[in-house]
Amino acid sequence: MNMVKVLERLDIAVNYNTNQTCCGQMAFNSGYWDEAKAIGEKFIRDFSNDRYIVVPSASCVGMVKNYYPLLFHNTALHNEYKVLRKNIYEFTDFLVNVLKVSNVGAKFEKVVTYHESCAARREYGLTDQPLILLRNVQGLEFREMKDIETCCGFGGTFSIKNEAISTAMAEQKVQNAIDTDAEYIVSTEASCLMHLEGYINKFKKPIKTIHIADILAQGY
């Protein structure tokens, strides 16, 4: 909802399809390609138009851009997925590189550090777009953590199948954030933030998590 709030503040008309569901990434990553394809077919039909599709999660966009070609090449939906793939964007990339906006007028008087998710950098190719936006938020103080690009340990089913390693990676990431004396860890990826928040809450660490859309929607 905060992503929509930001887009509407920038005079973008937003259509939300209430019938939309998962892109199929969870099934695909677990090896259930037939199920992923069925979900993907619904996803393609849910967005079967030539509008921009803006997503507050780079991992979902990465799934569509990188793996739908495997699922739908030479199928009846081949042309439809190609249109969708061309139009789908991660939220901060859309703001900075499509709308050419670096300052949305937000105000957030807190100290934050940024976690760069694996999906954002490696699957989607996101670079400095989130940092451009954060540095233009009024009152916000940004402090870069050590190993900003290192994985937080979530990795979907990785955190279930490799719990000890996943927890150790979360511990390292949270400690790197705490070492900056930041009040918040901000990221573009809700799944990373969910994972880190679980560790923070369990071990009562003195820091919070927040999605970048929630910061950009503050102050107006």
CB 129 within 8 A of CB 95: yes
pLDDT in tens, 172-194: 999 999 999 999 999 999 989 99
Query: Which of 220, 216, 213, 217 has its CA nearest to residue 189?
Result: 213
How many C-beta neighbours within 10 Å does residue 159 have? 20
- pLDDT for residue 220: 85
Tokens of 113: 């550090």
Single out the residue of 219, 210, 220, 218 nearest to residue 56, CA to CA: 210
Mean pLDDT over 65-78 rounds to 93
Q: Is the pTM of this model over 0.85?
A: yes
Domains in the chain: ranges and CATH? 2-96 (no CATH), 111-216 (3.40.50.11810)
| Per-residue confidence band for 66, with pLDDT thresholds at 50, 70 and 90 | very high
Q: Which residues, listed in sequence order, are joined to residue 88 by a DSSP beta bridge?
A: 53
Residue at 47: amino acid letter? F
Can you point out the beta strands (E) in 91-167? 111-114, 141-142
| Percent of the chain scoring above 70 in pLDDT | 99
Give 112-157 as a DSSP string.
Answer: EEE---HIIIIII---SHHHHHHTTSBT-EE-PPTTTTS--S-TTT
Tell me: pLDDT of 112 over 90: yes
CA-CA distance, 76 to 219, in Å (whole number)? 47
DSSP type of residue 94? I
pLDDT one-digit tens code per residue, 16-54: 999 999 999 989 988 999 999 999 999 999 998 889 999
Which residue type sits at 87? N
Joined together, the tokens standing for residue 85 give: 């793939």
Residue 166 has pLDDT above 90, yes or no: no
Assess whether pLDDT exceeds 90 at residue 110: yes
pLDDT classification of 149: cutoffs 50, 70, 90: confident
